[in-house]
Structure 1
Amino acid sequence: MKKPFLITLLLLSINTFAQRPQRPQNQEQEPIKITGKVLDKDDGQPLEYATLVLHSVKNPEKVTGGITNIDGVFEVEAAPGEYNVSIEYISYKTYKLPKQQLNKSIDLGTIKLALDVAQLEGVEVVGEKTTVEVRLDKKIYNIGKDLTTSGATISDALNNVPSVNVDVEGGISLRGNENVRILINGKPSALAGFGSTDALQELPADAIEKVEVITSPSARYDAEGTAGILNIVLKREKTLGFNGSVNVNIGYPSRSGISVNANLRTDNFNIFNTLGYRYSNSPGHAFYNNTYIDVDGNQVYDQINEERDYTRSGKGLNNNFGVEYFINKKSSITGSFFLRFQDGDDLTENYSNYFKDGLLSRQSFREEIELEDEENYQFSLNYMNNIDDDGQKLTADLQYSNGDEVETSTIDDNNTFPNSSLNTLESVYQNEIEDEYLIQADYVLPLGDAQFEAGYRGTFEREITDYKLDSLNRNTGLFVTNEDLTNKFEYHENVNALYTQYGNKFGKFSFLAGLRLENTQLKGEVTSEYDTSSIEEALGQDVDLNFDKNYLGLFPTLNFIFEIGEMENISLGYNRRINRPRGRFINPFPSRSSRANIFQGNPDLDPAYSNSFDLGYLKRWDKLTLTSSVYYKRETNSFEYIQQATGQITTDSVRIIRSIPINLSSNERIGAEAGILYNPKKWLRINSSVNFFQFSSDGEFDGVDYGTDNTSWFARFGSKVSLPKKIEWQTNAFYMGPRQNAQTKTDGMLSINLAFSKDIMNDKGTVSFNVSDLLNSRKRQSYTVSDDFISESEFQYRPRSITLSFRYRINQAKERERKGRGDDNGGGDDEMEG
């Protein structure tokens, strides 16, 4: 980190408000005043929070100065003397006046700063200056001012980030690929649910500082995630004093929440805390129509259709508390604690019609009540030592995460036609316990324009799933344990990694090359008091329910940037990555979404590996910025879900179908994406992006060819209009094009969000109103064909919703929040995982 940048951060932390002059230390001398104004050279806009630095020539340890107000004006008092004067602004070129003899008050006049695009770490794209930054290995999106996420969750916010898609069930994909690694502040976290994204649908979006989209990860990152990495950086204030915000929201369908962000910073410590509570009662709907093909002469029903209504009621409390202690000017230690409590009460009502020979034969009603009690907590300890002013740095991290989720379900299935009778009554108990230890250390050594890094990272995860299913015996009136499904499965994933990388800059050419060595251990063990031979038979004779596998791999990375000019550059990236199967993918015991549909893990799964190339182009004009890239990815041993008939039937003669993940031989993905940021007027900002990709796979399982070719695309459009009376209007639209795999075709889907906001209470408060899924069109419609059945389905996780929210800021300037200028706190390069 450069010395001027450190000085800037120091002065920002000293000055909480935009105009607080520093009193000179020597009170015997009459202070002088230094005044002036700082503007953006390109558009003439004032730069709030630009920094005037006065560095004493005779006493180099003496530094004073101040920052500009909302109009870009500064007025600073200082003792007379000789100073090196500089005016700094993050991502702008520094204005310098060396060895100035200041013996009387002086007006430096209007100073215009130009953007500095010649940086090894990256280039900031201007259209809306802090919306996106392009670096050697990632793009950084600041989503803090997105009105459509006011009162929303982190999942909602991610759906507004280019290249990212969040489906109707909360599943996250990057460039259409679901194998994406989710990090919080550069590390795996209990906030992300140990690989599950459920927690992200509960945590408030206003806790996010920025999102880093890392499609070509450098060697400092874990090699997990063949699609790439999403790093969610949470807010942490760097300004001296106390500040915070309170956000309250209420919505329909029934939802409400409150979150409080608070920060207290002194010269010796920084205390930060985010506390949030959410309640929701959200409906959902699904439709399934299964047509069965008689291949064995045992056809009982030729068609079954189901109407499902969901009512999901839940409340959750989360808190993230931390203290950063500054040991000295160069080193600090940070301890933080995160906890999350979530209670759920879900009701699923299933109305089914059974047809034989085209005629209605039977009707049934199935009711499932699921109670969920979940706890997550995480302890983190971070040590950081900025060894010298040239950027030499040592960091070390320790982290422990734990999750405990208990689900209990009661399933009551009754025939309603041609007569009323109890079909089945079941009770399900499931307990999932997950814990993870993280140890890592990173060292950075600058070598002039070059930089060397090395580090170690170890993660040690354990996941225990305890599952029990009891069914009512109608003859005896007693519950009987289903021995085929009841089990306890323990899964371990241990990864040890060493990495090193080297970056340098030669004129307009920058590169970053790295190599990562990882050893992965996957270990599973089934504990069951019942016979497991039926499970082994269903999976095949070569599958071992108890396994211990080790994989050693090298993962090279290489990233280039060539600056064609100050407003234009080309980037090229290559990386090799791994996709490790999660515990649910491995667990060999089936779990059921209904009695006729089961999901079964596959303990024979091996990790998948990918090689990726990414060629990017960036061009910037005065009011328009274009970002684009072409990418190619080849993955071997890739995972694919397939559906197949099990050959079994339920007690009421319905064929049982299972979904199971398998290793296909390979798949290839080639695509192109482009995005624009357009700011034609002060009152209008437009952003849009489109991603087009072609996907092909080959491979077979149980003698069935599951190869496929598919072309799809998705696009986004967003606009933000500043209206009179401090009212802002934002519209976001997203369209996911149709897509398909070997068995299933999914139709395209359109979603539009609309939002308005108004500043009140002297800009300390903001009222926002937003409508999510304005057209109520966010529905997944799919069509599946196999040798045994044809299935049509429609699923809507949540209908159109309306939210009204109010945010009150305490010692936070609205313009500073809007412009978003600040340091890279909370998980930038200082907190990258190693």
Structure 2
Amino acid sequence: MNKTEIVNIFTKKALGLTLVLSAAAMAFAQEKAAVSGIIVNKKNQPVAYASVTFSNKVTKTLSDAVLTDEKGQYSLQLAPGEYEITVEAIDYKKSVISKNITGAGNIGALSIEPEATSTLDGKTQELQGVVITASAAKPYKVELDKKTYDPSQDIVSKGGNLQDVLTNVPSVSVDTDGTVSMRGNSNVKFLINGKPSSLLGIDDGANALQSIPADQIERIEVITNPSSKFEASGTAGILNIILKKDKKIGFNGTVTGTLGYLPRTNLNANLNWRKGNWTWFLNGGGGYQKNESTTKNTTTRKDDINGLDPEAFPFTQYSQQNGKTTRESDTYNVTAGFTHDFNDKTSINFSGMIRSFDTDQTGLNTYNERVYRLPSELNNVVRERNSYGNNKNLATQFDLGFDQKIGDKGQLLSASASYQTNKTDGINQIVQKSFTENVIDPKGNIINNVNTDSKTDTFIGKIDYELPIGDNSKLEAGARYDYNKNTYKYFVDQSNNGQTPFTRYDFTSNTVYSENILGVYAQFKSKIGEKFAYQLGLRSETSKIDVNFQNFDKNGNPANTPEVNKNYTKLFPSVFLSYDLAKNNQILLNYSRRINRPRAFSLIPFMSFDDDRNYFRGNPDLNPTYENSFELGYNYSKKKITFNPTLYFKRSEDEQNRYQYIDKEGAVNTIPFNVGTETNYGLDLNGTYDPFNWWKIMLSADLYGYKNTGTYNLFPDNPKTLNDFSGSGFSYRIRLNNTFKPTKTLSLQIQSFYRAAEKTAMNNRKAMYGIDLGVSQTIWKGNGIIGFNIRDIFNTRKMRNYSDNAQFTRDMEMQWQPRQFALSFTYKFKQGEKIETKPKVKKDINSNTNGDDEQGGSPM
């Protein structure tokens, strides 16, 4: 694809969305009377970055606020009327005057007096430092039960997506196929703004992660050991993705466009408008992206050919596969909503979301195989397998929330409801040709058509209550109800050499999965003395799961298939302790119990047909996994350095693992089983160091090990196939970021990672490393940002596994996407903004001694 074609794609995909977003911006920014002025001190010198608030004395909704520029000047749009003008600035006394605004014009200079402790000229010597700190905060901060990662400083991910951002989040790793894991465990629970979301689909994997633009992400909360307030699912932990919702007064927003290769075009906008007691927001975007993945597999059976039963032939002993798949995706998403404050104590919020992506996929797989027709008859077979598919996904979500403050001592009642739908339709045609000793197979072409249809309906209702008790304690309680209904339909037909298609009933199936979960919790947090804080919680979850399967016999008649019904109630306690050793030194100890319920596709006992050399089949007898998790952490923070090591230990019961066997055709079959117990342990180390103002370093390392023991049976009806299993391994991951700022407007970032070799339950995974580069240049007085990045500079991000068991050996290499680069441009626009001065409040009972934002605050 040449440069002209790329530009044409970008123009075609982005033009319509640009017009929509521009119209929205114009609607937000309605013109009124233009009012301007200047803020000065007693020496008639301008006061930069002062907050100027115009409060309409008659109609509150006409109020507005603005921030002065570096010359002390400001301008905004106001309706005529009587206003109370409040001026605030660091190191100055608050000034309040009344003024009648009759129309457009300059209202002149307003003078403010310095504080008694201010400098002689009325200027603050700390202002520039405060501004720098605000714009260059630490990339993550540690709280009592979570870490918060700020992607705003992640230059490499500019113009990218959620998958790009996650590759740099401490304690998180992303495989080349989009699989996300925390500390080596892939059972991660994703939340969007604190709740499950249709934005991440049913089982969309990497496609779902790539559908959320990085520019729409405010922060990511990494919760490795969640408290009882959170749902108990997800043994690895929770990743809570907080999307942007600006609270600045007036109209504010950003628009980001990206052009990259492999062809990638994106246009995303975040628009916010706050007027009086109404706040509106609109986040939207869309784009085109091309992926190219490659696979290599070599599978060799260990069976003795001469010792096999003659009925076992034909017999495939060796298979070498080379494949390449190309995916082209169009992705669009829009989220809009509002918050309305009825008064200082009561507010409601509402939002709606729609997301779609359309993916076209083509693939070519070539197989070179050694096939025995009889022990004495060996044939070398070459097969070509071409696939052509399309996958369409549409997701919607509607959220309604209500917050009510009770009394004046901090009581808060919150209620919310969410309704979500997610529908995916897929069509895939697979055309297969076979050549035996360079002679075309008489069967000719074999054409398989695979149709998939899946839908999820979700309802979530929850209520939470907070009750402060004295100055140092708080009681929290609440309830949550989740309902999910998943419908899966899978259909395969086949035609040989142009004959009439016939249904492959051995693959065709229908499944309905429904899940009802009711959870209630209570937790209490308090302090003993000035240094010791604790939080104790207990959660109860009642689960009712029903799975109805339907498949067919060879004549197309419904077959008798198992029905899964599970109904159980379990308790999930949590304990969080913290102790302040000294200023900026804190020890944290916590414990929680978690559950991993089998996902719907892991229970479906029918095979998929996408690859006839790799089959996955679910296990309807699969049970939940329960895990007890312990963490001991230390937190140290100074101006130039932070250090946060965490020791963790996890032990699970009925651990879920995927096990493999090979059939006579040479296909590898994978089935999940509950296998005994698994112990995980490790050291999670995160830290930052700023050697100079222009150089910042962030290090993340995870050293971890596991031990698994138990038994499993690949064929439950045959006791002879019962197998004992034991395995152990140790590995580590290291991620290093260096950010350089040679000038005030130029930033350079180099991200690198190394993942050591690791022995898992069935595979020996080989080492992998990668290096990314990002450059950011600020222009137009900070209103514009030009970004450039290269991901996987040396094209080394490839997953390689080696398997060696009693039946076969297998060597596999997979690359989800080759090296990419992208150029992005971000424009910021604003009508006005207000920086709220930080009030002097009592220190939170769970904060560190210093009480700063780098160390944490309330555990929630």
TM-score range, shorter chain: 0.7 to 0.9
Separation in 1, partners of 2:767, 2:832 = 42
Helix, strand or coil at the partner of 2:215:
helix
> How far does residue 704 in structure 1 lie from its aligned partner after superposition?
2.0
Separation in 2, partners of 1:166, 1:568 = 31
Separation in 2, partners of 1:534, 1:711 = 50
Helix, strand or coil at the partner of 2:601:
helix
> How far does residue 480 in structure 1 lie from its aligned partner after superposition?
0.8
Equivalent residue, structure 2, for 1:175: 183
Separation in 2, partners of 1:514, 1:536 = 47
Identify if the C-alpha distance between structure 1 residues 251 and 65 changes in structure 2 by more than 3 Å, giving closer, same or farther: closer
> How far does residue 194 in structure 1 lie from its aligned partner after superposition?
3.8
- Bigger shift: residues 613-622 or 353-362: 353-362
Could you tell me which amino acid in structure 2 is paired with residue 802 of structure 1? Answer: F
Equivalent residue, structure 1, for 2:7: none
Matched, 1:660 2:671: yes
Equivalent residue, structure 2, for 1:505: 527
Tell me if the contact between 2:65 and 2:250 (Cα under 8 Å) persists in the aligned partners. Answer: no
Per-residue deviation, residues 403-426 of structure 1 (Å, max 9, x unmatched): 110111101000245122425211
Equivalent residue, structure 1, for 2:348: 333
Separation in 2, partners of 1:748, 1:467 = 37
Equivalent residue, structure 2, for 1:576: 593
> How far does residue 488 in structure 1 lie from its aligned partner after superposition?
0.5
Could you tell me which amino acid in structure 2 is paired with residue 204 of structure 1? Answer: P
Equivalent residue, structure 2, for 1:697: 708
Tell me if the contact between 2:258 and 2:823 (Cα under 8 Å) persists in the aligned partners. Answer: yes
Tell me if the contact between 1:322 and 1:337 (Cα under 8 Å) persists in the aligned partners. Answer: yes
Equivalent residue, structure 1, for 2:631: 614
Equivalent residue, structure 2, for 1:768: 787
Equivalent residue for 1:402, pick from 421, 429, 443: 421
> How far does residue 193 in structure 1 lie from its aligned partner after superposition?
1.7
Tell me if the contact between 1:36 and 1:74 (Cα under 8 Å) persists in the aligned partners. Answer: no
Separation in 2, partners of 1:665, 1:627 = 33
Equivalent residue, structure 2, for 1:28: none
Could you tell me which amino acid in structure 2 is paired with residue 321 of structure 1? Answer: A
Per-residue deviation, residues 18-64 of structure 1 (Å, max 9, x unmatched): xx99999xxxxxx99799999xxxxxxxxx9798999xxxxxx9xx9
Per-residue deviation, residues 104-153 of structure 1 (Å, max 9, x unmatched): 95222157999xxxxxxxxxx99953422211111111112311111111
Equivalent residue for 2:543, pick from 520, 545, 552: 520
The correspondence of residues 273-672 of structure 1 with structure 2, limited to 5 A, is 273-294=282-303, 297=308, 298=312, 300-355=315-370, 361-417=380-436, 418-421=438-441, 422-447=444-469, 448-474=471-497, 477-506=499-528, 507-530=530-553, 545-645=562-662, 647=663, 649=664, 654-672=665-683
Equivalent residue, structure 2, for 1:229: 238
Tell me if the contact between 1:764 and 1:813 (Cα under 8 Å) persists in the aligned partners. Answer: no
Tell me if the contact between 2:250 and 2:831 (Cα under 8 Å) persists in the aligned partners. Answer: no
Separation in 1, partners of 2:490, 2:449 = 11
> How far does residue 526 in structure 1 lie from its aligned partner after superposition?
1.4
Separation in 2, partners of 1:531, 1:49 = 77
Equivalent residue for 1:247, pick from 248, 253, 256: 256
Matched, 1:157 2:204: no
Structure 1 length normalisation: TM-score?
Answer: 0.83
Identify if the C-alpha distance between structure 1 residues 535 and 126 changes in structure 2 by more than 3 Å, giving closer, same or farther: farther
Aligned residues between the structures: 745
Separation in 1, partners of 2:286, 2:213 = 9
Could you tell me which amino acid in structure 1 is paired with residue 531 of structure 2? Answer: K
Tell me if the contact between 1:378 and 1:400 (Cα under 8 Å) persists in the aligned partners. Answer: yes
Identify if the C-alpha distance between structure 1 residues 360 and 134 changes in structure 2 by more than 3 Å, giving closer, same or farther: same
Helix, strand or coil at the partner of 2:247:
coil
Equivalent residue for 1:142, pick from 127, 144, 150: 150
Separation in 2, partners of 1:264, 1:127 = 22
Could you tell me which amino acid in structure 1 is paired with residue 356 of structure 2? Answer: F
Identify if the C-alpha distance between structure 1 residues 570 and 67 changes in structure 2 by more than 3 Å, giving closer, same or farther: farther
Per-residue deviation, residues 212-265 of structure 1 (Å, max 9, x unmatched): 011121111000111111101000010111111111011111111111111111
Tell me if the contact between 1:336 and 1:379 (Cα under 8 Å) persists in the aligned partners. Answer: yes
Could you tell me which amino acid in structure 2 is paired with residue 692 of structure 1? Answer: L
Helix, strand or coil at the partner of 2:610:
strand
Could you tell me which amino acid in structure 1 is paired with residue 775 of structure 2? Answer: F
Separation in 2, partners of 1:738, 1:730 = 27
Could you tell me which amino acid in structure 2 is paired with residue 657 of structure 1? Answer: V
Separation in 2, partners of 1:496, 1:487 = 30
Separation in 1, partners of 2:43, 2:513 = 65
> How far does residue 392 in structure 1 lie from its aligned partner after superposition?
1.4
Could you tell me which amino acid in structure 2 is paired with residue 488 of structure 1? Answer: N
Identify if the C-alpha distance between structure 1 residues 504 and 397 changes in structure 2 by more than 3 Å, giving closer, same or farther: same
Tell me if the contact between 1:185 and 1:232 (Cα under 8 Å) persists in the aligned partners. Answer: yes
Identify if the C-alpha distance between structure 1 residues 50 and 777 changes in structure 2 by more than 3 Å, giving closer, same or farther: farther
> How far does residue 575 in structure 1 lie from its aligned partner after superposition?
0.3
Could you tell me which amino acid in structure 2 is paired with residue 601 of structure 1? Answer: G
Identify if the C-alpha distance between structure 1 residues 104 and 400 changes in structure 2 by more than 3 Å, giving closer, same or farther: closer
Q: How high is the sequence identity, in percent, across the aligned residues?
A: 30
Matched, 1:186 2:194: yes
Tell me if the contact between 1:627 and 1:676 (Cα under 8 Å) persists in the aligned partners. Answer: yes
Tell me if the contact between 2:201 and 2:208 (Cα under 8 Å) persists in the aligned partners. Answer: yes
> How far does residue 323 in structure 1 lie from its aligned partner after superposition?
1.5
Helix, strand or coil at the partner of 2:152:
coil
Helix, strand or coil at the partner of 1:157:
helix
Separation in 1, partners of 2:569, 2:467 = 28
Separation in 2, partners of 1:722, 1:194 = 41
Identify if the C-alpha distance between structure 1 residues 813 and 97 changes in structure 2 by more than 3 Å, giving closer, same or farther: closer
Helix, strand or coil at the partner of 2:778:
strand
Tell me if the contact between 2:753 and 2:771 (Cα under 8 Å) persists in the aligned partners. Answer: yes
Identify if the C-alpha distance between structure 1 residues 301 and 813 changes in structure 2 by more than 3 Å, giving closer, same or farther: farther
Tell me if the contact between 2:548 and 2:563 (Cα under 8 Å) persists in the aligned partners. Answer: yes
Helix, strand or coil at the partner of 1:294:
coil
Per-residue deviation, residues 684-706 of structure 1 (Å, max 9, x unmatched): 11111111001111112122233
Could you tell me which amino acid in structure 1 is paired with residue 707 of structure 2? Answer: S
Helix, strand or coil at the partner of 2:230:
coil
Q: CA RMSD in A?
A: 3.8
> How far does residue 355 in structure 1 lie from its aligned partner after superposition?
2.4
Separation in 2, partners of 1:535, 1:565 = 70
Equivalent residue, structure 1, for 2:772: 753
Tell me if the contact between 1:186 and 1:831 (Cα under 8 Å) persists in the aligned partners. Answer: no
Identify if the C-alpha distance between structure 1 residues 812 and 614 changes in structure 2 by more than 3 Å, giving closer, same or farther: farther
Separation in 2, partners of 1:316, 1:753 = 24
